[in-house]
Amino acid sequence: MDSKTTKMPKVAKVKNKAPAEIQITAEQLLREAKERDLEILPPPPKQKISDPEELRDYQHRKRKAFEDNIRKNRLVIGNWLKYAQWEESQKQIQRARSIYERALDVDHRNVTLWLKYTEMEMRNRQVNHARNLWDRAVTILPRVSQFWYKYTYMEEMLENVAGARQVFERWMEWHPDEQAWQTYINFELRYKELERARQIYEQFVMVHPDVKNWIKYAKFEENHGFINGSRTVFERAVEFFGDEELDERLFIAFAKFEENQKEHDRARVIYKYALDHVPKDRNKELYKAYTIHEKKYGDRSGIEDVIVNKRKYMYEQEVIENPTNYDAWFDYIRLVENEGNLDDIRDTYERAIANIPPSKDKQFWRRYIYLWINYALYEELEAEDLDRTRQVYRTCLELIPHKIFTFSKIWLMYAQFEVRCKDLKQARKTLGMALGMCPRDKLYRGYIDLEIQLREFDRCRILYQKFLEYGPENCVTWIKFAELETLLGDTDRARAIYEIAVGQQRLDMPELLWKSYIDFEVSQGETEKARQLYERLLERTVHVKVWLSYAKFELNAENADNINVELARRVYERANDSLRSAGEKESRVLLLEAWKEFETEIGDEVKLEKVLAKMPRRVKKRQKIISEAGVEEGWEEVFDYIFPEDEMVRPNLKLLAAAKNWRKQQEIPQSTQNEKDDNDEEPGTPEGHPTQDSSSNDGSTTAE
């Protein structure tokens, strides 16, 4: 039998592995078991005890079961508690007490065990036993507040006030939490012991030096009518916390206390002191309470002060979060300037200008540089400190990276400041240094304006020469230079400047220069020279505005034989011919409109009819839209102008087309006759097929 191998039982193979149609979940199984009461055991039958012998037998069996459970696991406190409670139910207090003591030997730190033990003693009115147990419990576990609460409650229920107070004093030596102190204070207040409660508060705020505890102490004094005592507590709290640990809640409570006592001036002083000493990031509620107080009891100036302080706090937060937010600095400085405190204003300006832009890009400096400008203007106009103003300007100029970019405004303002200080030499030195380091158009113009105001025209000429060497393409500079010479009465010099200017190869606004030159000659009464200038200008450009200006000039010019109208009409005719040859249709339309107005106002009907005959027709056309890549993108409608003078050329084109058609008709019969002759000479050629020569002739005719 041993040699034979043990056979494993056969396991039936599952043929159908598809899921069942009805799925049963674990939840459903549990619910069905609950409904059928499968796990409910029937209660044990009630046993009636009829004589002492039976009772002793029952008690013996129960005690044996409890002792067995304890022997199996003596660390399970639940077994001990059940055993002791059963003995208590059998009125065996001594046995229950013995069980509790045995359990305490096993685990003397079990809070539940102590509570059950003492509750049993109190239920059975064993006061001394209970007091003894509470003493043992609080000695072994002094940090368990529940023992102290129940101990003091028991003593108070027994009307042993002195004993309860003694327990509280023992408890307070362990410096318990805030609720324990509050319970002791409420105990004394129940027996009207205000002085004892005050002494407890004194110890309380020293053990737990929190703001809310000081506020509770002060409210205790206020609620019992000790106004001066409450104020003293608040003052002691402010001194206790010092300037570093101040809390807005303390000042708000202090101010509201004074407000309740109708001491509004005191409350206002408290709020202002708090706003000056509490850190800005912890006084939001303080501002709100101060604003409400001022709205209730303050005047307009007080409310404005509150709002100003609140705005200052907001600006402080903004500049702390983003020091380069120069708009916030401007608003902050404007607010501080309205207060008028010189030291605060200077300190704010110094803080603002210390935030130099991180990049050397000029766009980041545009707002920043105005901080320096405002600072310098404030020092000059408000503080009237010229030395400090000069120092601000110089520091700013040293800070700007002039090799990369500069601000002409700063140089000019500094020079003007030195002029106001009657130091002309320093002003010229400053501007000269600016032109040497970083020449700019604005610097040249500002320097020239300064010299013109000082009537130093020779210096102006030198500056203009330097300016034109720096930027010869600047037409405005040429014009201003010529105007200066004109004002000085040197027309030849002005004309020479204009001639040099129009001879420049590259100009930024040549039309402005030519117009100024022509206006100069007109103002000098040199009509012929002005006409020559127009002719020179038309050699360079045929713009319609030049022609219109030329015609207007001829109309208004002073001529001896009064031929202005004829000269102007001649200009219009030349302009029309020039624009027609140039193909400028829109410019030509503008010219004809101006010509029509001219003939309407001055000319006769015959001349007007000639101009009207030249007016174009406006037609709508379609043209292809071609992208930059050369791809057709559709069609668009455009307006075009057709001039009668252009249509007059078309009859010649029609005559040429008619001549070509006639020539073609003449050649067709001749080619037919040649084909017949060729067919007679070459019988092998298929009928109806033209020869190579005839086909080539036919193609050439089609090409024509």
User: Is the pLDDT confidence value at 168 over 90?
Assistant: yes
407, 369 Cβ separation under 8 angstroms:
yes
Express each pLDDT in 305-344 by its tens digit.
Answer: 666 666 777 777 788 888 888 888 888 888 888 877 888 8
Domain membership of residue 570 (yes or no) is: yes
What mean pLDDT comes out for the span 399-410?
Answer: 84
pLDDT digits (tens, 9 = 90+) for 538-561: 777 778 787 778 777 777 776 655
Cα dihedral 395, 400, 401, 407 sign: negative
Do 611 and 625 belong together in one domain? no
Tokens for 671, please give them: 């080619």
626 forms beta bridges with 632
Give a yes or no: residue 640 inside a domain. Answer: yes
- The confidence score (pLDDT) of residue 206 equals 92
pLDDT digits (tens, 9 = 90+) for 94-145: 999 999 999 999 989 999 999 999 999 999 888 999 999 999 999 999 999 9
Q: Is the pLDDT of residue 286 over 60?
A: yes
Residues 598 and 650 in one domain: no
Whole-number Å distance between alpha carbons of 288 and 295: 11
Helix or strand run (H / E) with residue 621? strand 617-626
Q: Tell me whether residue 583 is in a domain.
A: yes
Q: In the prediction, which pLDDT does 169 show? A: 93
141 within a domain of the structure (yes/no): no
Asked if 147 and 112 count as a contact pair (C-beta separation under 8 A), the reply is no
Structural domain ending residue among the three candidates 597, 615, 633: 615
Does residue 561 sit within a domain? yes
The string of pLDDT tens digits covering residues 218-251 is: 999 989 889 899 899 988 988 888 877 788 888 8
Say how far residue 654 (Cα) sits from the centre of its chain.
72
Can you tell me the distance from the alpha carbon of 597 to that of 420, in angstroms, rounded to the nearest whole number?
A: 56
Confidence of residue 151 (pLDDT cuts 50, 70, 90): very high
**The overall pTM is greater than 0.75:** no
578 and 631 share a domain? no
365 or 603, which is more confident: 365
Q: Is the pLDDT of residue 677 over 70?
A: no
- 699 in any annotated domain: no
| pLDDT value at residue 683 | 39
Q: Give the pLDDT confidence score for residue 657 in this predicted structure.
A: 61
pLDDT at residue 154, rounded to an integer: 92
What are the two backbone dihedrals, phi and then psi, of residue 635, each rounded to the nearest 5 degrees?
A: -125, 155
Q: Which of 204-208, 380-384, 602-606, 692-696 has the highest mean pLDDT?
A: 204-208
DSSP state for residue 353 in the 8-state scheme: H
Query: Residue 270: its pLDDT value, please?
Result: 85
- Indicate the pLDDT class of residue 688, thresholds 50, 70 and 90: very low
Q: What are the φ/ψ torsions at residue 459 (nearest 5 degrees)? A: -65, -35
Among 562, 593, 615, which residue terminates a domain?
A: 615
- Please check whether residues 558 and 607 belong to one and the same domain: yes
604 is a domain residue: yes
Give pLDDT, residue 689.
37
Three-state DSSP class for residue 602: coil
Q: How much is the average pLDDT of 20-29? A: 84
pLDDT value at residue 8:
63
For residue 370, the 8-state DSSP code is: H
Question: Residue 149 in contact with residue 166, Cβ under 8 Å?
Answer: no
Whether residue 518 has pLDDT greater than 90: no
**Whole-number average pLDDT of the chain:** 80
Measured distance CA(355)–CA(377) in Å, rounded: 19
Mean pLDDT, to the nearest integer, of 629-648? 72
567 and 592 co-located in one domain? yes
Asked whether residue 560 falls in the same domain as residue 591, the answer is: yes
Residues in CB range of 674: below 8 A, 6 or more apart = 694
Which pLDDT score, from 0 to 100, does residue 316 have? 79
pLDDT, one tens digit per residue, over 641-674 is 766 766 565 555 556 666 777 777 777 655 555 5
Judgement on whether residues 623 and 635 belong to the same structural domain of the protein:
yes
SS (H, E, C) 100-168: HHHHHHHCCCCHHHHHHHHHHHHHCCCHHHHHHHHHHHHHHCCCCHHHHHHHHHHHHHCCCHHHHHHHH
Question: How many domains does the chain contain in total?
Answer: 2
Residue 699 has pLDDT above 60, yes or no: no
Asked whether residue 690 carries a pLDDT value surpassing 70, the answer given is no
Instruction: Say what percent of the chain tops pLDDT 70.
Output: 87
DSSP conformation class of 407? -
DSSP 641-689: EE-HHHHTTHHHHHHHHHHHHHHHHHHHHHHHHHHHHHHHH-TTSPTT-
Instruction: Return the pLDDT at 39.
Output: 62
End-to-end Cα distance, the chain: 125
Element at 634 (helix H, strand E): strand 632-642
**How confident is residue 696, by pLDDT bands cut at 50, 70 and 90?**
very low
Inform me whether the pLDDT recorded for 11 exceeds 90. no
Q: Are strands 632-642 and 617-626 parallel, antiparallel or unpaired?
A: antiparallel
Q: Are residues 601 and 625 in the same domain?
A: no
In this structure, the answer to whether residues 572 and 602 fall within a common structural domain is yes
With a cut of 50, say whether residue 1 has pLDDT above it. Answer: no
The reply to whether 357 falls in a domain is no
Q: Where among 615, 640, 664 does a domain terminate?
A: 615
Least reliable range by pLDDT among 38-42, 120-124, 525-529 = 38-42
Residue 30: per-residue pLDDT: 83
Domain that includes residue 554, residue range: 542-615
Q: What count of other Cβ atoms lies within 10 Å of the Cβ of residue 288?
A: 14
pLDDT level of residue 697 (50, 70, 90 thresholds): very low
Q: Please report the pLDDT score of residue 423 as a whole number.
A: 83
Dihedral sign computed on CA atoms, order 449, 453, 454, 459: positive
Mean pLDDT across the stretch 85-101? 90
DSSP string, 29-55: HHHHHHHHT-SPPPPPPP----SHHHH
Rounded Cα distance, 190 and 164, in Å: 13
State yes or no: pLDDT of 388 exceeds 70: yes
What DSSP line would sit under 219-286, residue for residue? HHHHHTT-HHHHHHHHHHHHHHHTTTS--HHHHHHHHHHHHHTT-HHHHHHHHHHHHHHS-GGG-HHH
